[in-house]
Amino acid sequence: MPVPINSAELSSTDDNQEKWTGRAREVLVNALSLTGTHYQYGGNSPQSGFDCSGFVSYVFKQAASLTLPHSALAISQLGVKVPKSELKPGDLVFFNTLKATFSHVGIYMGNNRFIHSPSNGGGVRVENMQDSYWIKRFNGAQRIDQLSQ
* Structural domain boundaries enclosing 121: 18-148
Residue 49 is among the residues annotated as catalytic for this protein: no
What CA–CA distance (Å, rounded) separates 141 from 77?
A: 10
- Identify whether 6 is part of a domain: no
What is the rounded average pLDDT of the residues 107-126?
A: 93
- Identify whether 131 is part of a domain: yes
| CATH code where residue 35 lies | 3.90.1720.10
- Identify whether 13 is part of a domain: no
- Identify whether 130 is part of a domain: yes
Residue of 52, 56, 92, 115 with catalytic role: 52
Query: Which residues lie below 8 Å from residue 127, measured CB to CB, with a gap of 6+?
Result: 1, 2, 3, 106, 113, 114, 115, 116, 118, 134
Residue 73 is among the residues annotated as catalytic for this protein: no
The confidence score (pLDDT) of residue 146 equals: 61
- Identify whether 9 is part of a domain: no
The confidence score (pLDDT) of residue 147 equals: 56
- Identify whether 92 is part of a domain: yes
pTM of the model: 0.85
Q: Is the pLDDT assigned to residue 15 strictly greater than 90? A: no
State pLDDT tens for residues 34-91: 999 999 999 999 999 999 999 999 999 999 999 999 999 999 999 999 999 999 999 9
Least confident piece of the model among 59-63, 115-119, 138-142, 144-148 = 144-148
Mean pLDDT, rounded, of the chain: 87
Residue of 104, 113, 125, 143 with catalytic role: 104
Q: How many domains does the chain have?
A: 1
Residue 28 is among the residues annotated as catalytic for this protein: no
- Identify whether 3 is part of a domain: no
- Identify whether 89 is part of a domain: yes
Residue of 23, 116, 125, 143 with catalytic role: 116
Query: Which residues lie below 8 Å from residue 132, measured CB to CB, with a gap of 6+?
Result: none
If 0-12 CB within 10 Å is exposed, 13-18 middle and 19+ buried, where does residue 55 land?
A: buried
